[in-house]
Amino acid sequence: MPELPEVETIVRGLATTLPGATIRAVDVLKPDLIEEESAASFARELKGRPIRSVERRAKNIVIDTGGDFLLVNLGMTGRLFLVKEGDPEPTHPGVRIHLADGRELLYHDVRRFGRLWRMSAEAWERWEATLGVEPLSDAFTPKWLHGATRKSRVAIKIWLMDQKRVVGVGNIYASEALFRARVNPRTPADEITRPQAKRIHQGVVDVLAEAIEFRGTTLLDYRDAEGEPGEFVRRLRVYDREGEPCLRCHRTINRIVQGGRSTFFCPHCQK
DNA sequence: AACGCGCCCTGTCCGC
DNA sequence: TGCGGACAGGGCGCGT
């Protein structure tokens, strides 16, 4: 569900209010959400720790708990937010993090594809090193993109979604970026030309930046740290628009399946 | 080694 | 109205 813009929006929200807080207690309601250790150990180790910072790496929320880290991956339907006075009882609470100041940070997840795990600074560095390039960093350039695509025959849409290559681009923004770039999502990565690589680069950067401005895309479940939906859904040009007219040429948007996921594109504009 | 597939899970929607 | 199947923003582990 959440891709880079949604995770970035959540992180920006939490980063304004969480640092300086202290974890008073942790209740794990769904133990299968915890990676690599028991729920009891997870709760015990977090108890009493400070929250120093909240950042994003790829589609993960990275919380510095005083030298160690708490990572949260939201999977498809995960939410991480501060419970507000008068909120209805959550339907699928997963982990409740009680802060010393009385607030409660809730991890909520209907499908439970999300994961939370603690790691040492060293483990975090090792794991971080296996992730691909941040698309909104200086390391992501048209030249890098063209070079990196030489090594793979997979379809460019699948290629863009592989977090070992470029991070943060998921099923929505992969389709959207390729539409903006006017590149067919089925094109083998190693057949992408330099001009196409330049356009894909621009498409990825532009769509992610704009989606962050609109606080992400809410199709169904996504909510930011304040519980509010994102507004970028109204700006989607191809995703979930099968059968509707292309905004550029007015021909029909198609849906195909790649790697078991839907891809939306305009066969006329994206040759 | 790279790649494709099945699977993890719950909810919703659509056709019959 | 009920039921089965398809599908939903992600990512891992498996076999080839």
- Per residue in A191-242, pLDDT (tens digit) is 999 999 999 999 999 999 999 999 999 888 788 888 888 999 999 999 999 9
Using DSSP, state whether A263 is helix, strand or coil. Answer: strand
In the predicted model, what is the mean pLDDT of residues A249-264?
96
Chain B nucleotides close to protein (CB under 7 A) are 2-11
Q: What is the pLDDT of residue A219?
A: 84
| CA to C1' distance (Å), from A257 to C8 | 14
- pLDDT(A1) > 70: no
Residues of A annotated as catalytic are 2-3, 59, 261
SS (H, E, C) A136-204: CCCCCCHHHHHHHHCCCCCEHHHHHHCCCCECCCCHHHHHHHHHHHCCCCCCEHHHCCHHHHHHHHHHH
CA distances from A60 to A68, A73, A89 (A): 15, 5, 26
Superfamily the domain A4-121 falls into: MutM-like, N-terminal (3.20.190.10)
pLDDT (mean) for A132-160: 97
Q: Where on the phi/psi map is residue A76: left (φ > 0), alpha (ψ -120 to 50), or beta?
A: alpha
Whole-number Å distance between alpha carbons of A145 and A251: 30
- Distance, Å, A259 CA → B5 C1': 8
Q: Which residues sit close to strand B, CB under 7 Å?
A: A 32, 91-92, 110-113, 151-155, 158, 189, 259-260
Indicate if the alpha-carbon torsion angle A50, A31, A105, A234 is positive or negative. positive
Helix (H, G, I), strand (E, B) or coil at A130: coil
CATH class label, A142-265? mainly alpha
For C9, nearest residue by CA–C1' is A1
Q: Where are the domains of chain A?
A: 4-121, 142-265
